Structure 1
């Protein structure tokens, strides 16, 4: 696999081009029989484990992440054309560890680098959502998630790292919008879920 580019040196058009070039296996088209448990787990901090030991090779994690799929029952599997193995996921399968922002208000565009090196630009196809505070990490702030791939609401997400969340909150405060939230690629993402 190619080395990861430095997000800080890329413009958003360059990031968009790299995202377009990402070719992922068609895991949604593969339907082999379930073959068992992979004995793998993705921790809440994004660390991948096999049989209780961290996977230390980033290229292996990146490779496995390309064959990850969320099932209709909410579980996760690693899938190939001939094999499907369960994988445990503590929170979200990815972590958004870095953000690059350009523009202000409705003209903003936010690109995120995931712990696997994938690049995702938030927008209608990749919405941000903010789960209520009080999650398993003990933080009293909302937990932001970025849709990465698959069906929105039932696909793969990235937990936005706490440091990146603080950058989002700073942008929201600076924007002065009536409702706290964040803009990216023409879409507005409120910090609080809509009332039912």
Structure 2
């Protein structure tokens, strides 16, 4: 069964994006605990590219499918999990990359939605916070996608976010989305 085409983010309102994100049904990977374990021989690089045995996975539909069975373990590692098998997967940074952002409103009335490299749509809010990690190259923003899985904001998306942060300098440095505030100064 082919996967439906990805909607054009620009043509959707944030209310439509929020509905699409909420309607997405994912496998209950958090409840699967199979005994059979192994290594998937797969890796997700910092830019969100997926590899198997050193070769890129070229089919976006395969990457989207694998992303639905990805889980973060209590020890911080990552696995691909089904009801009968659990396979480790190497992740260089975050398993997802936010490649596009759509914003509505300003200040406290802002709502921000992100499209991930897998086609998933996520609205930043209290359940999907943005956090900033301090690095030698400045803060790196991450968006919580689900169950400990995060998306690194791609550089162009981060620049869009930074423009909004700079434009809204009435209080502490940070960004509002869906009634939640995410401070840049809280960089870890």
Fold match (TM-score > 0.5): yes
Q: Aligned with 1:192: secondary structure? A: helix
2:32 matched residue in structure 1: 30
How many Å apart are 1:192 and its aligned residue? 1.9
Q: Aligned with 2:164: secondary structure? A: helix
1:137 matched residue in structure 2: none
Q: Distance in 1 between matches of 2:76 and 2:187?
A: 23
Q: CA RMSD in A?
A: 1.1
After superposition, the Cα gap between the structure-2 partners of 1:127 and 1:53, relative to the gap in structure 1 and judged at 3 Å, is: same
| 1:177 aligned onto 2:174 | no
Q: Which runs of 5+ in 1 are unaligned?
A: 135-139
> Which sits farther off after the overlay, 171-180 or 38-47?
171-180
1:162 matched residue in structure 2: 155
Cα deviations across residues 5-55 of structure 1 (Å, max 9, x unaligned)?
010111011101111210000000000014210000000000000000000
Q: How many residues are matched?
A: 186
The normalised TM-score by structure 2 is: 0.97
2:92 matched residue in structure 1: 90
Cα deviations across residues 88-110 of structure 1 (Å, max 9, x unaligned)?
00000000000000001111000
Q: Aligned with 2:159: secondary structure? A: helix
Cα deviations across residues 50-100 of structure 1 (Å, max 9, x unaligned)?
000000000000000000000000000000000000000000000000000
2:21 matched residue in structure 1: 19
| 1:125 aligned onto 2:112 | no
- Alignment counterpart, residue 148 of structure 1, candidates 133, 145, 149: 145
Q: Which runs of 5+ in 2 are unaligned?
A: none
- Alignment counterpart, residue 4 of structure 2, candidates 2, 5, 20: 2
